[in-house]
Structure 1
Amino acid sequence: MPDLKEAATGRRAELREFLMSRRARVSPAEAGLPEGGGRRRTPGLRREEVAVLAGVGASWYQWLEQGRDISVSPQVLDAVARVLRLSNAERRHLYVLAGLNPPVPEVEPAKRHMCDGLRRLIDTWMPYPAHIMDAYYDCVMYNDAAAMVLGMRPGTTQNCIVDFFTDPLYRSRSKSWERNARAVVAQFRAACAAAPGDDGYRQVLQRLEREAGEEFTRLWAEGDIEDAGQIRKELDHPLVGLLCVESTALKVPARPDLTIVLHTPLDEANTAAKLEWLASPEGRRGAMYPVAG
């Protein structure tokens, strides 16, 4: 069993070092203080300046930085994080070191450009299907294999859970639809529960109740909760027949608003070779012609 007292002592020591290092990198000018004040023995802000700017007592902040066992609140930590110009990741780290549950991850403005890199990721996953969806299950992007195998296309709702219930093309191909429907709904409920009162989830739920019909309503009423992970999918493709894949939902900490869903071929039904053929010039030509299903 871990020594809880020793762990707490180590965490407070790390909190001290973390706050001192963050304070040292913020200049008085960056904090909105006048440039005067004489020569400084150490770079960055003084403890007293952090306390004044954060609206807390100088002694209390000194105790915090010394790693003393004192009570802290999210409001005070947020004020300190603001003064020290902490990033979202650093702010969460501060909460952990102070012994509080960290806030919900947010996207740093500088990380929003990552979509270009994520596009390269799913394109490199070819010839296997891959797509990326946002927190509300809206499809952000998908690769060519997802279009050929899963039927992702502009004519759908572009919302992954709504299309799961309402897209006739996907449902005609999915041999595992009924088995997977319960897991899909349970994972969506878990996402909704993690963001109570979020209007975006409420809108998707209303849309499902309106468009997905009794099947969704029945599964939602069961109240199951399940974390996103892996789901086995069996698909009957009109050109190559049975495909057996495993979808894996992945999170990128820097983009907590996005989920990457990669489909990996299982060692059944010669799935890998079939997916490679579908992505080949011959397979793409075959997909150009209408095929039932």
Structure 2
Amino acid sequence: MSRRARVSPAEAGLPDGGARRRTPGLRREEVAVLAGVGASWYQWLEQGRDISVSPQVLDSVARVLRLSNAERRHLYVLAGLNPPAAEPAADHGCEGMRRLIDAWMPFPAHIMDRYYNCVMYNDAAGWVLGMRPENTQNCLVDFFTDPLYRARSQSWERNARTVVAQFRAMCADRPDDEGLQAVLAELTSVSPEFSALWARRDILDAGVVRKELDHPLVGLLCVESTALKVPARPDLTIVLHTPLDEANTVGKLEWLASPEGRRGAMYPVAG
């Protein structure tokens, strides 16, 4: 009833007829007509009666009442159905995410979409992980094909098994996703190592991944990467790298972010 009161007949494309209405917004009968359902059925829906409800009908009601993504999901819950997946916020929230990963400095952080495409990364991810514009900008493809990252990663073989098993779990959750199938096809064509690991059929849930990296300027770095989901942007994942209490990793990352470290990174170094 409160959502009906927000929508005027004019907003719904109905003539108001000039007559004074006893209640603001749309009448139940008008919502029913616009949603293509029976007036009695819609009344029972508002009253919370035990009736048969389909997602298609709820979507029609949500459209007429101009419900937001959160309100539409809540309507599903009230009707006893599993809510649909959350949709990205209208403002995308990318500026806030950029501030987040920049505030994570001097530790590496990056953001990728549901297909592992890199959306943005901070400076430390460039210095430490070798992220740079000339890469494919797909984090999974670069893991297997970027020679710079391969040369630095001392934990590559162990982590390769993990990332492939986690990728299989994602593909299993969305077997009809053409985007994931395209990534799978590309990896299979460019990396025999990926193909061999994929054939093992291992499967793992996402979790913390330990990484040991041999940086050409500061030597060994030990970090943990944690993948975080953002409710406002369910299509994106923030990957934060946290330094471990080993090999003076914090001090080395802080030095790389210093003016002296930045100058050192400007010159070519083997590896």
Q: TM-score range by the shorter chain?
A: over 0.9
Specify the SS of the correspondent of 1:111: coil
Equivalent residues in 2 for 1:1-293 (5 A)?
A: 20-36=1-17, 38-108=19-89, 110-112=90-92, 114-213=93-192, 215-293=193-271
**Any idea what the Cα deviations from partners look like across 1:131-188, whole Å, max 9, x if unmatched?**
1111111111111100000000112111000001111111111111111112211222
Q: Distance in 2 between matches of 1:97 and 1:222?
A: 43
Specify the SS of the correspondent of 1:283: helix
CA drift at 1:37: 5.8
Q: Distance in 2 between matches of 1:34 and 1:196?
A: 46
Q: How many residues align?
A: 271
Letter in 2 for 1:99: G
Normalised by the length of structure 1, the TM-score is 0.88
| Percent identity (aligned) | 82
**Deviates further, 35-44 or 160-169:** 35-44
Normalised by the length of structure 2, the TM-score is 0.95
**Deviates further, 281-290 or 190-199:** 190-199
Q: Distance in 1 between matches of 2:8 and 2:214?
A: 63
Residue of structure 2 in register with 1:14 after alignment: none
Q: Distance in 1 between matches of 2:35 and 2:128?
A: 55
Specify the SS of the correspondent of 1:264: strand
Letter in 2 for 1:153: R
Specify the SS of the correspondent of 1:117: helix
CA drift at 1:42: 2.1
The RMSD of aligned alpha carbons is 1.4
Q: Distance in 2 between matches of 1:231 and 1:198?
A: 25
CA drift at 1:252: 1.2
Specify the SS of the correspondent of 1:126: coil
**Is the 8 Å Cα contact of residues 136 and 204 (structure 1) preserved in structure 2?**
yes
Q: Distance in 1 between matches of 2:169 and 2:70?
A: 23
Assess, with a 3 A threshold, how the Cα gap between structure 1 residues 223 and 88 changes in structure 2: closer, same or farther. farther
Specify the SS of the correspondent of 1:78: helix
Unpaired stretches in structure 2, ≥5 consecutive residues: none
Q: Distance in 2 between matches of 1:192 and 1:111?
A: 28
Q: Distance in 2 between matches of 1:96 and 1:227?
A: 26
Unpaired stretches in structure 1, ≥5 consecutive residues: 1-19
